[in-house]
Amino acid sequence: MSEKNEKIEKTPAAKAQPLSAVKGMNDILPPHSGQWEWLEDKVRALMARYAYRNIRTPIVEPTQLFVRGLGEVTDIVEKEMYSFEDRLNGEHLTLRPENTAGVVRAVAEHSLLYDGGKRLYYMGPMFRHERPQRGRYRQFHQIGAEALGFAGPDIDAEIILLADALWRELGLQDVRLEINSLGQPEERRQHRAELIAYLERHADLLDEDGRRRLHSNPLRILDTKNPAMQAVVEGAPRLIDFLGEQSLAHFEGVKAMLEANGIAYRINPRLVRGLDYYNLTVFEFVTERLGAQGTICAGGRYDLLIGQIGGKPAPAVGWALGVERVLELVREQGTDIPLPVPDAYAVVPDASALPLVLRTLQQLRAAGVAVQMHAAGAEGMGSMKSQFKKADASGARYALVFGSDELAAAEVTVKALRDGSGAQSRESLSGAAAWASRLKT
């Protein structure tokens, strides 16, 4: 062996550096993940009551889907999308920044409306390259509801009622509804011409974004968060003043149904939403409890989107909520979220009993009981005292003690951990299914 090789062999391998998640893309860990499960369970149950069915679309979509659907001069398309070129075939792809366009693409591609309208909902991660801030991340999660193939104001009202029902399910307070109507394309064109003329007269008061959008997308200027431009925005022509008879009738229909259901709302004539595909009704649910970024759910009608992406034109309306923001509001209000805990914890003093213990636990689990078993470590099962500490920390209501005396009698001791009584009983291992229901939370 050469001196060089000998030196290399004696050199210790370089220590691998620990890796971290991408900034703005966060791990969701227990027990915090239990809050997500709680919210998702509430959503699934509510969607079922409103007859909305789950749809799951790919995280990666063709870039052109969002350019066509969201608008080429929107903030999302211009600044925030994670887009890349497929190295195998040169296809331009994008991590979805929102999911309405993907749902519409799926509906059009698979002709889901051939036998009538569809009510759909989704849950999942979205991606936008923006500066992470409170409740807003580069990977964030949305829950959305979409009703496609229905043209009437009744469905606009229904989908707003669905969101309002969710706030009640979650116990949220101080959430208010703001609504507006964007009318139809011709009405928007008339308003656009008047708006551009007005903004040109005040061009010296516009910020850089405002001047850039003046002729490409002036409606978005009305959605500015720049305090220095609020006076200009307040004096701008209002789109609602350009609406024709049919658009006004649709808006009046929505308001009447909200009022009939006791839903308070505020008409916000400056509410335009940030995406190009909206028409007629738009709305936001907002709160003051989360600072400047107060919108927790937003949506509206998008009758033109299916046609824009190449499908057979059909009406549609929907909303999306930000999961991180809703959960932050839930926690801020101090809502008691029940976290998942086992019904029982198996205390096993002797590792030799594990085959029999596992067989019994499998019977209990098959009967619907959630059971956590104490696992053997490198030095064995550990003391009874340490096992009972872990049983208590698990949150389980009962400890199942598989001691030598119990196993000799083919029994297990069931000990209460939560009611303060410490009551216990002996149960037969062979008849676990008969007493399993007592353990269920």
Mean pLDDT of the chain: 89
Contact yes or no for 61/94 (Cβ under 8 A): yes
pLDDT tens digits, one per residue of 266-319: 999 888 776 667 899 999 999 988 876 689 999 999 999 999 888 899 999 999
Query: Residues 121, 55: contact at Cβ < 8 Å?
Result: yes
Where exactly does CATH 3.30.930.10 map onto the chain? 32-183+243-332
Distance CA(319)–CA(300), nearest Å, equals 6
Structure tokens at 100: 């309405």
- Which pLDDT score is estimated for 275? 64
Q: Report how far Cα 150 is from the mean position of its chain's Cα atoms.
A: 24
**pLDDT band with cut points at 50, 70 and 90 for residue 209:** confident
DSSP element (H, E) containing 258: helix 245-260
Task: Report, as an integer, the average pLDDT of 248-268.
Answer: 97
Whether residue 32 has pLDDT greater than 60: yes
User: Does the 32-183+243-332 domain belong in CATH 3.30.930.10?
Assistant: yes
User: What SS3 class is residue 348?
Assistant: coil
Q: How far is CA 233 from the centre of its chain?
A: 32
State the Cα–Cα distance between residues 321 and 299, nearest whole angstrom. Answer: 9
CATH superfamily, region 344-439: Anticodon-binding domain (3.40.50.800)
Q: Mind giving me the DSSP string for 145-194?
A: EEEES--SHHHHHHHHHHHHHHHHHHT--SEEEEEEE---HHHHHHHHHH
- How far does CA 107 lie from the centroid of its chain? 21
Compute the average pLDDT of residues 249-258: 97
Residue 180 β-bridge partners: 282
Q: Give ranges for CATH 3.40.50.800 in the chain.
A: 344-439
What radius of gyration, in Å, describes the C-alpha atoms of the chain?
29
